[in-house]
Structure 1
C-alpha cells in the first residue's frame, strides 16, 4: 500500500497515475493548496499536514505503507517573501509526515528534496558529497527536511531516501519557466519578458523519467538512509528555452530582460547555474534519463500547447 502526500499536485499526480496503473492501492493525502488533480482510482483524504493531530489521524491508516512525501510549497521565488508559510508547509509538514511514518511502521519513505540545497557551488556537475549552502529559504527548508528524514530513519529504523531533484517539467506542469513563457506570449505575442539576464543555465528532467527513477530507487535501495541526485546529464540557458518556446509557438516577439537582483538572477535566491552529478544513481541502480534538457523543454512546450496524454 502507498501513501502519497501532495498527491493532488504536479509530481504527485503523475506518481499516483503510475501506481494505480499497476493496480496498486494508493492513498493520497492533500489539502488541495497547490494542486487539484484527482485520480478516481486512488483513495483521497483531505487533510492539512501542518496540523498537530497526527496521532488521531494515523489511527485511521493501514500499517506498513510505502510513503512518497511530495507535499510542499513548490515556489522557490515566494519562499523569500512568505517565509513562515513556506517553513510550515515544508519543515513542519515533513516532521509530521515522519511522525506519521513512525506510527504506521512505514516500510520506506521517499522524500522529494531539491537541487537548491547546494546553493551556488563551484563543483559542476554537483555530486551528493558537495557542501550544502542554500541561498534561498526554499533550499534551506529542504535541507532541514532532509535532516528530519535522516534523523527519523536512523533513530526509528525507517528506511528513507532523500531525492534531490533538478527542474522537473512536462506533462501537466503548472509552474516554472516554460509555463511562464507560454503564458506571457499568449497574453502578448509581441513581447517576452525574461527575468534575469537570460544566461542562467540549468538542467531539466521530464516528468516520466522522474517517475521511473522513483520506482527504481524504491525497489533497489535498502539502506536505512541515503541521498540521490535525480537530474539530467546536460543543461540549457534561459535564452535557449525562450528560443524553443518562441519557435514552437511560431512567434517573433521582442525580448526584454528584467534583472531583479543586478546579479543576473531571475529573483532573490535564484540559483544561476545548476547541473547535478547523477553518476551515483546511474551506477548504483542503473537509471538514466531518456531525454536531454533541450528535448525535455521542447516536449514540455508541446504538452502545454497541444495537451498532455498520459502514458500510464
Structure 2
C-alpha cells in the first residue's frame, strides 16, 4: 500500500498525462523482488550452518527514482506522459538520497538474485499494473 512504484502507478491512474516525482529523482536505492527476498531467506535458513549471523538482503546495485519513473511509464504503455520533479535532494521528510546495501556476506553463501534492481522494479511495476489496471 505504499512505496515509489505503488505511488507512481496510482498517480498515473489519477492523471495519465502527468507523473509528479517528489524530489529531483536522483535518489538511489537497492530494490529486490519479493521472490528473490523470500528465496534469499530460505537459502539462508536451509543452507547456512551458522547459529547466528546478520545478512543484508539485496542485489548489490541501485536504481534512481528518475529511472523508476521511466520504467513505470514504459510498463504503463501510456504515451506522452510528462514526468515532473518537485525538486530537492530528498523526496520526502526522512528520505535518504542514496542507500546501497553491502551484500557480500549474502553472496558469499552462494546466493545469487534472479533479478537486479531495474529488473525487479520492472517486474513489480508490471505485476501491479496488471493487478489494478491503469
TM-score by length of 1: 0.40
Task: Kindly state the Cα deviation for residue 191 of structure 1 after the two structures are TM-superposed.
Answer: 1.3
Higher strand share: 1
Task: State whether structure 2 residue 91 is matched by structure 1 residue 266.
Answer: yes
Q: For 2:38 and 2:99, how far apart are their aligned partners in 1?
A: 21
Work out the CA distance in 1 between the residues paired with 2:24 and 2:85: 6
Report the equivalent of 2:81: 253
Partner residue, 2:44: 217
How many residues in Structure 1 have an aligned counterpart in Structure 2?
A: 131
> Contact 1:198 / 1:237 at 8 angstroms: preserved in 2?
yes
Question: Which stretches in structure 2 are left out of the alignment for 5+ residues?
Answer: none
Say whether the 8 Å CA contact 1:232–1:275 is kept in structure 2.
no
Aligned counterpart, 1:290? 114
SS at match of 2:21: strand
Partner of 1:278: 103
Which structure's CA Rg is the greater one?
1
Q: Give the C-alpha shift of residue 271 in structure 1.
A: 1.2
Moved more, 176-185 or 243-252: 243-252
Alpha-carbon shift at residue 273 of structure 1 (Å) = 0.8
Worse-matched range after superposition: 228-237 or 179-188: 228-237
2:16 corresponds to 1:189: yes
The 2-side partners of 1:291 and 1:257 are apart by 28
Residue pair 1:205, 1:292 contacting (<8 A) in 2 also = yes
Deviation for aligned residue 1:203: 1.1
Is the CA contact (8 Å cut-off) linking 2:26 and 2:66 kept in structure 1? yes
After superposition, what is the alpha-carbon deviation per residue over 1:134-173, rounded to whole angstroms, capped at 9, x for unaligned?
xxxxxxxxxxxxxxxxxxxxxxxxxxxxxxxxxxxxxxxx
Gaps of 5+ in 1: 1-173
SS in 2 for 1:295: helix
RMSD, matched Cα = 1.7
Q: Deviations over 1:12-42 (max 9, x none)?
A: xxxxxxxxxxxxxxxxxxxxxxxxxxxxxxx
